[in-house]
Amino acid sequence: MPAIRGFVQLNLSVCLLLIGSAFHAGLARGQEAGTWRSFLYGNEVLDLAADGATIYAATTGGLVRFDPVAGMEQWTRSPGGLLSDTLGVVAVSPSTGRVWLGTARAGISVFDPENESFLPYTSLLEPIPGDRIRAIRFDSVVEQGTTRERMLVGAEQGYALFADGDLREVCFQGVDLCNLASFDVRDLVRRTNGGSTSLWIGTASGVLEQLSGGAWENRSSGLVSRDVTRLLEDHCIAGGQIYRWDGAQWQTDATGLPQDQIARDLATGPGGELYLGGSRGVFGRGEAGWTRVGTNAFPATSVVVTAGGRLFAGAADPSETQDGIWEWTGAAWVQHRLEGPSLRQHYRSVKITPDGTVWLSHAESGTRPQVIQVRRGTWSFWNGGLTGCSGAWTWNTILAGDHVYLAHCCCGTVDACPLERISVASNDCQVIEGVPNAWDFDLDDDGNLWVASWSESQGPARGIFRLDARDSTWINLTPANTPEMKSTQITAIRRQGNDVWIGYNASGLHRLTLGADKLPGTADDTWTWYRNADPQRRLIGDEVRRIEVAPDGRVWIGTTAGLSIWAPGRITNIGPGFGRLPSAQVNAIVPTEDGGGWVATRDEGVTRLTPAEFGFDYEVFAAPYLPHPNVEAMSLSPDGRTLWLGTARGLASFTPSSAGSGGSTSLSAYPNPFVLGCSDGVRVLGLAGGATGVVVDLSGKVLHRIDAAEGDELLWDGRSDGAAVPPGLYWMRLRTARGVESVGVGVMDGVCP
């Protein structure tokens, strides 16, 4: 990688400048906050590669590694790590063991298994034709008597060939005149014929062979469809069908395959065995044609054979029952899957019970709704319409006694979206009649359940419900029986002592102060209205979306125009722009013990508000901390430390590095920069117990290993194999109790400070 190899020498001023910018930028990206995690479905496998007995899978939920001893591990997008969660290509370099991961639109991430680090390889840094990667293949080439590893990269805008990292050939759409039938290069292979070797590429418009002079010859004769997706020495897949090259054209090679088989991938074994993976399972090629391997007809997307002859297949199954990594034992297929979330990941609600159980709800057009429980790492699912629960979308959940209540919304008829509850003991769903289109919940100090009803259609919305915890009777408030109410369209409700905070879809906010009887709708109630047009009690907007009561008693109100914070006698309004909220619509709010809070705004991630001398300091977290920038629900763990965030594509969590919500970076090196010969070496502050790890250069090469370091022990003396390293920037990658953390270190020579 020339852009990285060229950086070896730094003088004192340049090194200080880079340390002050690169490492400070790392802090600004959120390392100071703590640990961010994404929880994505890692069983939708699109490609496989093998390194010895270890299998690497490219999935729509990041990188998955299967080791026969260690089991399964998963990596998702993170700062300084994997570039994208959507991977379609994986290949292992035979010479280095590094894993090359092609993403859907973010280029290539290179994973070093030795120190579990990632390096970017994108069109901004390297001469590859765009960042929509279709294929990565490795082979070898002899140049001037020396065998060199060659890497072939196919992309949506062309291809590139490298030998030991040096560019040999590139064809980039709009830049190079390559006379290709299509620049969408799906696969590449070096094919030997009569002692000569040529490059064959498969494109969206057929197969081409590059002749010795560089010209291209069309080799698509015989293909019914020229949409090529896979090439091997003598076989190709085009239009989902398998073909074999007879020396002049392609011939259909489907003997023994089911008629409805859609071919996806091809692989060869160490003895020349040929395997095909497709929609009806895995097949091996014999003299008489194809024969199914085993009896399982899982939808295989990819196949690979290890150097020891072990056959593996990757699968993607929308029903989530036959996907993951499959291993052929010689007698049967064994399925390996990651425990975790579902493919359906548009989360609408995140709630956490006192014992730490997380309850989630999913709702997305075109798929069945789902309620999910995560308890001590075990995931349980209730599929709407299939497991006893309603088929209506679930927008909210709340634990009340021995039941989890489900808010269903927004149906056009009164009976279509009834309130439901799941029994914690029996896991059964029960319908609660007479409460349609529930949208938001809260519990008061006596255990009574308060429900806000809302619907896009005015008719089915029914205002406010209160369920008495003693006898399960309902009180229902609407403008018909409570003239103070402005609408039946209630989008948020919260209890605070004797007050009920009521947010309207378009009519501002009511503060209902209950009388001595604590019952709503009686003569001793007091109603106070807050709205944008009232200069004395002005909200930032009248379309209320969230209400949360802070530990200090203030009330945070999220609207489509920004955030309002109520305190006795005062309302503070915080709008978008000017370094505050990144966008106007507030989706979710979590106030914190320090007087600050977390605020999710539509399509713009989550903003942490930290109390400052005047107002707040604002810090925005979006990609790559979150799997999707639209956060629609948040909740804190019972200990107040871990924040859980439900997004439009996946679940995330954040755990601060200390008990406080803010603070400095979890780890810091000193002295930094480190001047060779001026001290005994580098130490690290902030170690949480013991740590092990490595020191690597910017290319990822391991220079030094750190074993069982604690406290302020010397971790590195600036040497590798007994010799001082060149001045430059280096990374200490440490595995601590918090996970794998990285610390940048600058090494210089010169005068001691």
**Single pTM value for the model:** 0.83
Domain 531-631+650-663 grouped into CATH 2.40.128.120: no
- Provide the pLDDT for residue 331: 96
- Provide the pLDDT for residue 361: 94
- Provide the pLDDT for residue 264: 98
**Amino acid in position 93:** S
Task: Report the candidate in 576, 547, 578 with the shortest Cα–Cα distance to residue 562.
Answer: 576
Query: How far does CA 590 lie from the centroid of its chain?
Result: 22
Q: Which two tokens stand for residue 36?
A: 């961010």
How do beta strands 674-675 and 739-748 pair?
A: parallel
- Provide the pLDDT for residue 521: 92
State the Cα–Cα distance between residues 267 and 590, nearest whole angstrom.
Answer: 51
Which superfamily is assigned to 343-507 in CATH? TolB, C-terminal domain (2.120.10.30)
Answer whether 1-32+670-753 and 343-507 agree in fold.
no
How far is the CA of 40 from the CAs of 203, 316, 334, 628, in angstroms?
31, 15, 23, 11
- Provide the pLDDT for residue 433: 82
Are 454 and 505 a contacting pair, CB within 8 Å? Answer: yes
State the Cα–Cα distance between residues 117 and 98, nearest whole angstrom.
Answer: 10
- Provide the pLDDT for residue 249: 96
User: What are the helix (H) ranges across 347-492?
Assistant: none
CATH of span 1-32+670-753: 2.60.40
**Amino acid in position 360:** L
User: What are the helix (H) ranges across 358-457?
Assistant: none
Give the number of other CB atoms < 10 A from CB of residue 704. Answer: 19
Are 75 and 85 a contacting pair, CB within 8 Å? Answer: no
Give the number of other CB atoms < 10 A from CB of residue 443. Answer: 17
- Provide the pLDDT for residue 504: 98
- Provide the pLDDT for residue 711: 64
How do beta strands 739-748 and 728-736 pair?
A: antiparallel
- Provide the pLDDT for residue 599: 98
State the Cα–Cα distance between residues 62 and 72, nearest whole angstrom.
Answer: 13
The full set of domain ranges for the chain reads 1-32+670-753, 139-242, 343-507, 531-631+650-663
How do beta strands 196-203 and 185-193 pair?
A: antiparallel
- Provide the pLDDT for residue 688: 57
Q: What parts of the chain have a pLDDT lower than 50?
A: 1-32, 659-665
